[in-house]
Structure 1
Amino acid sequence: MVIINIFLARQAIYDRSQNIIAYEMLFRNSDINQFDLISNEYNEDDATLKLISNCSTIGFRELTSDKKAFINFTEGILLNDIPTILPKDVVVIEILENVNPIPEVIESMKQLKQKGYVLALDDVVYSTRYKEFGDLIDIYKIDFIDTNKLQRKLLLDKIRKVNPKAKFLAEKIEDEETYKEAAKNLFTYFQGYYFSRPVMISGKDIPIREACCFNVMLELMKDEFDIDVVEKMIELDVAMSYKLMKFLNSAKFSFRQRISSLRQAIVILGKNELRKWISVIAVSNIISDNNEEFISQTLIRARFCELIAQNIEEEKNKAFIVGLFSSIDTYLDMDMRDVLRDLPLDVDIKDALTGEKNTLNDILVLVKAYENMDFEEVGRLLEELKLDSIILPELFIDSIEWSNKIV
């Protein structure tokens, strides 16, 4: 399985006491701490979607230490209602300065406000069309490089008349003089090289097979999609299954019980949110170079676990997930406990994957022993699970045939 490196940067945002209260998340496509939109292969829409995907993969909690995350949104992403897949108590929707205040955009912003999202307007300069946004903006980011002192004074006066409750963020503060000016003019937040530069963050990701992503999207486009079909498609791609579980661990969702099947995860997310999530990961996984043999072996193991569970009246959905995720630590080059910490799975699934003694773990150990032809261990576990040894080869062959049909 090919593992890819993912990158982003974050720049701290400070309050008047110079405490960090948020981070702006910045797209990066390499380990170089800059993004040149003109020469880069990504346009603004793609960069936003890739950034959202990377943030979800690494985890918002790890990125922000439970502080707010400012993320730039383009006009196209706003109109496709993508922001609502992100947690409102974590993300600040930062409207780019080139977004046109057309009726559709204004309506989208109203909907976001009604749902409790905080909206910021990026790179406000004297020519910015801020008036047409009315009082929908919560935070105005005033650019201290592209404005002079007089322009900033006029901007503050005009915006405060349009939106008396507005808060202001002084961005691109690069020296003590401009910081003092911003503080004197009652700016609430501050950002710039005077305080800190963007810090690079990297992580590991598993590319999703484009064909799988495309087929799921096609099914979801139907007015009445078949949940069985969607479930089967997602469970056949360990990367997609993992990303879905990781995404559901976002603060946007609260669970009274942990997830025990992919179907449960799909139902919790819902058709519209699932469609938006798929569109995000489709763009963010343009590069696809998966090892089909590795995928095939993973599917054989998941199916084998499922069939054994079915024959001993154990929950087969849980057993399938155990088999599917049994090598996820290898994929990501991480400790299994660190991987599972951010997945909202049932405790018994996590226990099985980390080697704790339970029936699901016994099934996984049996499957691994059979793969390695450790027949002494196989015999011991067959006896413990009260499973007839005669059917084991048949179940394994069934698993291979099932995987071959899929792959």
Structure 2
Amino acid sequence: MQDYFIGRQPIVNTNKDIFAYELLYRDSLKNFVTVNDNRFATSQTIINLFERFGIENVIGDYLGFLNLSGDYILSETIELIPKEKFVIEILEGFSSVDKLITKVLQLKDKDYVFSLDDFVYKKSYHDFTPIINYIDYIKIDVRLADRVEIAKRMDILYKISDKLIAEKVETKEDFEFFKHLGFKYFQGYFFERPTILKTKDLEPNQVGVIKLLNLLNSYASIKKVKELFEAMPDITLRLIKFINSAAFGLKQKINSINQAINLIGYNRLKIWLLILTYADKQNIKKSPVFQTAVIRGKQLEILSENFKDIDKDSAFLVGILSLIDVVIQKPKEELFEQINIDELIKNAVLFKEGKIGTMLLALELDEKNDYLVLIETLSNLGISMETFVESKLKSYAWLQNLLKDI
């Protein structure tokens, strides 16, 4: 079991009654954190909120404000967040404001609610002019705000939004000043410091995640996907907890795997699995081990097309599993004792047996630049060097497209 944390700080109205909670990434009971990777922090916060704590337990009937990284807002994953329960906070510092603006307009058509965080009048107004009238809330840091400038601009600010939030309010004088200006909501130490919530949960089954992604990418039947879930109760529990959260706004609880898969659909299921993987610190884009494994998988899949008696999905899985010992820090033999893996796949990975195993050997020889043995191995398979090189180039191109989407 592992400890998980999430921070929350109330946003109050002029009567100091709770209006909403801002949710914060935390990795311990300390009331501060250094975030080096915004995408990881975003993913971890959402996983913790939806699964490990439950939305109702964290924010109840109140709204939740979520700080989301730029990548997260621009991705499909954003639509996993229930629009009825959350306000999406847009942070400064986007590398592509134009792409953000386009995405926000698309999401506004779907009734998503947005807030501009750390609003600085001149810069923020200039950067976000095309969407400024689509913003629902504006948060202004009272420690950084020029009070004279804000007072002069209140008419213009109210034209943008009448839902102004003064944040980092630390004194009664701060509260009274911005309340007098017409701010409706307030947040800061004057009312309450962030509260750190703590829970325990199981570590995700990394092997199961990889197997499920492979199965989904091969468009396997729901029956096959269901059977794989049934073999991994920890991941099944996570999925059902996730769907039973407020993310889907369901009035009835999910009570079967089949029902869950039908509801979430393959595309969202893949997104969920990728979030889960990323949230547990497997940085796909920066991991050479992961990239080598998926390149091996794709190249074996492509090479398997030369043989009528080889299942290309099995070939892909062999490539993924060929480096699994490095990823999970356990010997392959020990891992295969714990999972129900096909003997053909296991023997190909462990002993380079069969055609898939021989192709895997060829890939490893290529990585070691052992070309004399490589040519002989390919000759025994009836595969030309030209075909081998072409499959390698195609697998690299496939990886680059994959990394663009995750």
Matches of 1:21 and 1:405, distance apart in 2? 50
Matches of 2:27 and 2:98, distance apart in 1? 33
For 2:258, the aligned partner's letter is R
**Aligned partner of 2:268 among 257, 260, 273:** 273
Higher helix proportion (structure 1 or 2): 2
**Aligned partner of 2:196 among 193, 197, 200:** 200
Deviation by residue 1:13-42 (Cα, 9 ceiling, x = unmatched): 0012211011100101112111112xxxx5
Q: 1:154 to 1:97 in 2, by over 3 A?
A: farther
For 2:77, the aligned partner's letter is I
Between 1:70-79 and 1:95-104, the stretch displaced more is 95-104
The runs of at least 4 consecutive aligned structure 1 residues that moved more than 6 Å come to: none
For 2:234, the aligned partner's letter is A
* Residue equivalent to 2:17: 19
**Aligned partner of 1:244 among 231, 239, 244:** 239
In the TM superposition, 1:283-322 aligns within 5 A as 283-286=278-281
Q: 1:16 to 1:256 in 2, by over 3 A?
A: closer
* Residue equivalent to 2:324: none
- C-alpha deviation, 1:257, in angstroms: 5.5
In the TM superposition, 1:337-376 aligns within 5 A as none
Q: 1:50 to 1:404 in 2, by over 3 A?
A: closer
1:131–1:159 Cα contact (<8 Å) kept: no
* Residue equivalent to 1:174: 170
1:144–1:171 Cα contact (<8 Å) kept: yes
For 2:175, the aligned partner's letter is Y
Matches of 2:11 and 2:209, distance apart in 1? 36
The reply on whether 1:45 has 2:43 as its aligned counterpart is no
* Residue equivalent to 1:211: 207
- C-alpha deviation, 1:237, in angstroms: 2.4
Deviation by residue 1:211-241 (Cα, 9 ceiling, x = unmatched): 221232333345x453233323333322211
1:89–1:251 Cα contact (<8 Å) kept: no
The reply on whether 1:220 has 2:155 as its aligned counterpart is no
**Aligned partner of 2:98 among 99, 103, 113:** 103
Q: 1:405 to 1:267 in 2, by over 3 A?
A: same
1:83–1:93 Cα contact (<8 Å) kept: no
**Aligned partner of 1:113 among 92, 108, 111:** 108
Q: Alignment partner of 1:270: what SS?
A: helix
Q: 1:148 to 1:215 in 2, by over 3 A?
A: same
Q: 1:245 to 1:98 in 2, by over 3 A?
A: same
Q: How many correspondences in the alignment?
A: 285
The reply on whether 1:58 has 2:53 as its aligned counterpart is yes
Matches of 1:194 and 1:268, distance apart in 2? 44
Q: Alignment partner of 1:10: what SS?
A: strand
Q: Alignment partner of 2:203: what SS?
A: coil
Matches of 1:195 and 1:259, distance apart in 2? 39
- C-alpha deviation, 1:153, in angstroms: 2.8
Matches of 2:252 and 2:59, distance apart in 1? 26
* Residue equivalent to 2:291: none
The reply on whether 1:76 has 2:71 as its aligned counterpart is yes
Identity percentage of aligned residues: 31
For 1:118, the aligned partner's letter is V
1:121–1:139 Cα contact (<8 Å) kept: yes
* Residue equivalent to 2:183: 187
**TM-score, normalising length: structure 1:** 0.65
For 2:143, the aligned partner's letter is I
Q: Alignment partner of 1:133: what SS?
A: helix
Q: 1:254 to 1:171 in 2, by over 3 A?
A: closer
Matches of 1:201 and 1:256, distance apart in 2? 26
Matches of 1:173 and 1:18, distance apart in 2? 12
Note the residue ranges of structure 2 that are not aligned, 5 or more in a row.
Answer: 283-335, 343-406
The reply on whether 1:405 has 2:340 as its aligned counterpart is yes
* Residue equivalent to 1:140: 138
Matches of 1:28 and 1:227, distance apart in 2? 37
Matches of 1:35 and 1:197, distance apart in 2? 14
Matches of 1:277 and 1:63, distance apart in 2? 21
Deviation by residue 1:165-208 (Cα, 9 ceiling, x = unmatched): 44211101111111111111111210011111101100111111
1:70–1:94 Cα contact (<8 Å) kept: yes
1:139–1:167 Cα contact (<8 Å) kept: yes
Q: 1:255 to 1:402 in 2, by over 3 A?
A: farther
Q: 1:216 to 1:175 in 2, by over 3 A?
A: same
The reply on whether 1:9 has 2:11 as its aligned counterpart is no
Q: Alignment partner of 2:248: what SS?
A: coil
The reply on whether 1:89 has 2:89 as its aligned counterpart is no
1:123–1:143 Cα contact (<8 Å) kept: yes
- C-alpha deviation, 1:155, in angstroms: 4.9
**Aligned-CA RMSD value:** 2.4
For 1:267, the aligned partner's letter is N
2:115–2:135 Cα contact (<8 Å) kept: yes
Note the residue ranges of structure 1 that are not aligned, 5 or more in a row.
Answer: 288-400
Q: Alignment partner of 1:134: what SS?
A: helix
For 2:9, the aligned partner's letter is Q
For 2:235, the aligned partner's letter is M
- C-alpha deviation, 1:285, in angstroms: 2.4
**TM-score, normalising length: structure 2:** 0.65
2:40–2:281 Cα contact (<8 Å) kept: no
